[in-house]
Amino acid sequence: MPDGTAKLALALSFEKARKHVVLNKIMCRSLMAITGTEVFREWVGASVVLAPGQAPNHKGTIAVLLAETEQ
């Protein structure tokens, strides 16, 4: 932050990837819907896909979607 304070944020990390994705409110809501819980520690292990999406303000964003499972 410009005033020198820190801002906490949730971030996704992925197996076999070095980069992280910082989550916004919409992404957090998607993960809550996918996992069925608001407890972010219980999101660990959820299989998700990142895809191009559109925010409620009609701007481009990254959508967090449930990954299709292999059968």
pLDDT digits (tens, 9 = 90+) for 18-53: 999 999 999 999 999 999 999 999 999 999 999 999
36 inside domain:
yes
Name the pLDDT band for 71 (thresholds 50, 70, 90). very low
Dist. CA 58–CA 37, nearest whole Å: 27
First to last CA, the chain: 46
Residue 1 has pLDDT above 90, yes or no: no
35 belongs to a structural domain:
yes
Q: Is residue 59 part of a domain?
A: yes
Burial of 19 (0-12, 13-18, 19+ CB in 10 A): exposed
Residue 71 lies in a domain: no
Number of domains the chain contains: 1
Domain holding 41, by residue range, is 11-66
